[in-house]
Structure 1
């Protein structure tokens, strides 16, 4: 029996996604305009050297992106982190990897509903926040139900728009830098290193914060069963999405720092890049940037909801979640419609009941936990189980990815760690009951 193939008795997805679609999907999840979410706080944290923090974070995430790509080549199925850990290390450990990552995927559409509704309400105050939440939820859910091909086409358009806004923002910033009162040079080392304020601890803290912008490249691998050529395209897409996204983040942080050198003088840390956009291009640029932020919530919401629904599908297919519900695929659209609707309900309720700051903190717990499991899976599967003694490829690179993620993980806030481990404890109790004390394996693993 091949673990990477499904029986004809199982529901199937349509293979329609090209390498370009997969890369855009990953970038859409991260969103090209992601620095807007954290710039004010991260710029202060790094003492004006956020570009360096983003560079470090990009390099760190590339190790994990490599590991995701290697595991997707071995197991081109929809479960991503859950599947890789389950089939490489242990089926029960795989459940916990999926359980941790599930929290991350659930929180992504939830937080983008919140952010999108907040900015939309600020732009059109006459429409209440809760109405905007429902509008965003309905649009995203409807597109995902129609199918991943429709979602991919929508993302292509929205990512193109955000990319254009980023380009416009950078051009206006360059114009403001070289044409300003002080006529500064566009070439400067200060966004990467300023000897008067540099502190290693500040840069590390900033890099940990910058990793938030990269959460999402891993979602590409949840679409393995809908990719045209998953074995070749998955690792390329994960690496390219991480690299392209990182370069976009670095450039935005670089020009923003030169336009507004005093990072302690923003009117509000929440809207720091809007202050910079207004200084560089006036109210028109600030408005366009605001619209781009709202658009980013649609791209991240589409990808987050799609990824979570497919992770639940894979766990249902392996019968670690109730199979009948979680593996139902709409006969016409070929999408896990019940999972999508469940995700919509969870996200709407959470968006109306929880604070943004709390949700944002929890995302790092699930994301970093999943990254550690996948890096470890590469080592166990390739280096030890398959005896492929390529030290750098199958041991050193994933080991570095694991250690980097572990270091960032242990530096999460006490509240985040406490709530995250409570979530894992709930999963432990659920698994203990459904596996009869961890004696019962998922049916797909029986006899292996």
Structure 2
């Protein structure tokens, strides 16, 4: 029998962190600024602080679980192995919702950027061209994807730094709040806590990326670096989001200056540094969105691969690894086809629906820590174990639950419909539960 083709181990610590940051798209703070500023009544950075607090607890839980189950399945694998295969499937199916939609969101944002610069070119031309390039790079090599991603992330972060310098100068000259140091972007009269949490559910999708890092576990040179990469990604991303949101909110206390609030990055660049900086700033958004496109495209392809390898999706197609490129080529192409839907949708609706799948994944990763360490390993005999494996994940799940209660109604409806589709598919593959869900393949086959 010929040796099984596996994913190639080629990613170091900072390559993984860069993939996580690329996935998170740091410039998304400016893309969604108008949406979140309206929802929170002008306290965007406060919404990011709330979301970061939730994400840190959940990131710690991801770090614990990836050490126990060093495979590419993320929340799907953890829930499946610690609780129940059926529940694991439903969590994986829910996760597919945000993983599949994020590459489409990236294509949509790229479309918005390029249409703002070249209004006479049909929008579909940009979508098709962008999706074709991202798909080709992902099929070609994970190493090449990582290298391209690193270049794009560094470029984008440098230009975010340039925005902060220009914003500092504008504030010193009296624009916006007229002062660099002010509490107005964090709290002022008329701010309601419920509105802040509603905004936090929207910006939570900005952090989607640290969890996707676990999808690269089987391609890490040393899988022990993955937990560290998760925490570094959350902290670095959180600082960028907060600082960028603070300066944007200080410059623009409300959204009255914006003609388009669905994606405010181009106008933020224009009002901060003029027409030339607008073009440069859009290029930073373009670079980081393209980086996110590369990383998110790669991540969902690996989730589909694990579900295919396990047999819960047709193994011959979804569990296929290209013998030369050693990438899940069929899945990469399928995600590219789904991304073409970016020719039409609305950013606010899609970003809201993404959070449904993400919050399910975050909730069950926290619960899987309790299931594994407390119930399976009986790690509750010391105060330290109780704190690490019970109290901390309960806090993480509880904070995620708060975000659940403020989830957009349309996101809830769309997510429930998606879960119903998944349940119908589950009934089909198990013949109404008369046969079990296919078992995990031998992990020794994964190197």
Residue 295 (structure 1) aligns with: 287
* Partner of residue 411, structure 1: 406
Residue 336 (structure 2) pairs with residue 341 (structure 1): no
Match of 1:351 among 333, 342, 366: 342
Q: 1:273 to 1:302 in 2, by over 3 A?
A: closer
Q: Which residue of 2 aligns with 1:226?
A: 219
Query: Structure 1 residues 389-398 or 129-138, which shifts more?
Result: 389-398
**What is the aligned partner in structure 2 of residue 4 from structure 1?**
none
The 2-side partners of 1:271 and 1:422 are apart by: 27
Q: How does 1:23-38 map to 2 (within 5 A)?
A: 23-38=17-32
**C-alpha distance in structure 2 between counterparts of 1:183 and 1:301, whole Å:** 35
Structure-2 residue corresponding to 1:422: 417
- Is 2:260 the partner of 1:268? yes
Closer, same or farther: CA 258–245 of 1 in aligned 2, 3 Å: same
Q: Work out whether residues 47 and 263 of structure 1, in 8 Å CA contact, stay in contact via their aligned partners in 2.
A: no
| Counterpart for residue 49 of structure 2 | 55
Partner of 1:261: helix, strand, or coil?
coil
Kept after mapping to 1: 8 A contact 2:265/2:282 = no
Number of residue pairs aligned between Structure 1 and Structure 2: 437
Cα deviation code 1:20-57 (max 9, x no counterpart): 11111111011111112210121232222211111111
**1:174-195: CA deviations, max 9, x gaps?**
011123379943222222222x
The TM-score, its normalising length taken from structure 1, stands at 0.93
For residues 249-295 of structure 1, the C-alpha deviation after alignment (integer angstroms, 9 at most, x for no partner) is: 11011112222234444333234444333232111222211122222
Q: Deviating runs (4+, > 6 A) in structure 1?
A: none
How far off its partner does 1:8 sit? 9.4
Deviation readout 1:197-219 (Å, 9 max, x if unpaired): 33222222222222121122211
1:107 offset after TM fit, Å? 0.3
Task: Give CA deviations for 1:308-358 in whole Å, capped at 9, x if unaligned.
Answer: 11111111111111111112111111001111111111211x223544333
Look up the match of 1:397: 392
Distance between the aligned counterparts of 2:175 and 2:128, measured in 1?
46
* Residue pair 1:91, 1:445 contacting (<8 A) in 2 also: no
Structure 2 CA distance for partners of 1:13 and 1:189, relative to 1, 3 Å: same
Match of 2:440 among 441, 444, 447: 444
Tell me if 1:252 matches 2:244: yes
Q: Does 1:39 align with 2:30?
A: no
Q: Which one is further off, 413-422 or 66-75?
A: 413-422
Provide the residue aligned with 2:445 in structure 1: none
Match in the other structure for 1:207? 200
Q: 1:236 is matched with which residue? A: 228
- Partner of 2:440: helix, strand, or coil? helix
After TM superposition, give the deviation of residue 62 of structure 1 in Å. 0.9
- The structure-2 alpha-carbon separation of the partners of 1:363 and 1:271, relative to structure 1 and needing over 3 Å to count, comes to closer
Structure 1 unaligned regions, length at least 5: 1-6
Q: Secondary structure at the match of 1:444?
A: coil
8 Å Cα contact 1:256/1:273 also seen in 2: no
Task: Note if 1:128 corresponds to 2:122.
Answer: yes
Q: Contact (CA 8 Å) 1:259, 1:276: kept in 2 or not?
A: no
Q: What is the Cα-based RMSD across aligned positions, in Å?
A: 2.0
